[in-house]
Amino acid sequence: MPRVTEEHRAARRDRITDAAIRAFAERGFQHTSMADIMSEAQVSAGGVYGHFASKREIAVEVATRVLGARRADIEAARAADPVPEPIDLVMAVLRSMRMEMHDSRLVVQLWAEASVDDEMRAIVSAAFATYLRHSLTGYFGGWAQQARHLSAGAAADWAELVVPGVIGMIQGYIVQSALLDDFDGERYLASLAQLLPHH
């Protein structure tokens, strides 16, 4: 019997995760069963449970993948020369997140789960700390040194101050786009351009 390669396992895991994103977006997290995910992925029960023990584990994989990709976006901006303006970075993060998640309601559903499930809350909190807060703090510190000519220490202090508000702006975009029928994403981004720091 041929051995299953790591590449094959990773591809199967990605296929299941992609299917879960579609199923969660269409049916909602609470109303999506493991059977729904199997059907969407066209994978047997053994194929799914060989990678994930539960729907929660799949949700964690979704959150980790999406936030991990955003971390890569932020780190790339941080390494660029010149460092891009904050509004350009935030716009890129929001647009790529929305494209990858298909439907921002899924993010809000995962946050709702975190509000009543201690294990999910710990996972979401750790993911935000690792993938967003840390990377954004590094980016804003670097930007402040380059654009505002602050010392490394002063730039780091300033970044620690502003990043919670920036994360709130990102969350606000996701929540409003999920809940408001008349949400205008471009107008929201235009308002952020007036609020975010710039040269």
Domain ranges, ordered by start, for the chain: 1-53, 55-195
Average pLDDT score over residue span 64-69: 79
pLDDT beyond 60 at 2: no
Do the Cβ atoms of 25 and 40 come closer than 8 Å?
no
| Alpha helices per DSSP H over the chain | 6-27, 34-41, 45-49, 55-79, 86-101, 105-116, 118-127, 134-148, 152-179, 185-195
Contact 159, 176 (CB under 8 A): no
1-53: what fold?
A: Arc Repressor Mutant, subunit A (1.10.10)
Q: How far is CA 59 from CA 19, 29, 119, in A?
A: 11, 9, 12
Q: Does 191 have pLDDT greater than 80?
A: yes
Lowest mean pLDDT among 9-18, 29-38, 102-111: 102-111
The predicted pLDDT at position 1 comes to 43
The chain-wide mean pLDDT, for the chain, equals: 88
| Separation between Cα atoms, residue 60 and residue 146, nearest integer Å | 36
In this prediction, residue 124 carries a pLDDT of 79
Provide mean pLDDT across the span 178-188. Answer: 93
pLDDT exceeds 80 at position 4: no
For residue 14, CA distances in Å to 7, 18, 130 come to 10, 6, 21
- pLDDT reported for residue 101: 67
The CB-side HSE value for 82 (13 A sphere, CA atoms) comes to 11
Spatial neighbors of 118 by CB under 8 A, at least 6 apart, are none
Is 89 or 5 the better-scoring residue by pLDDT? 89
Q: How far is CA 196 from CA 20, 92, 177, in A?
A: 34, 14, 20
The pLDDT score that the predictor gives to residue 130 is: 72
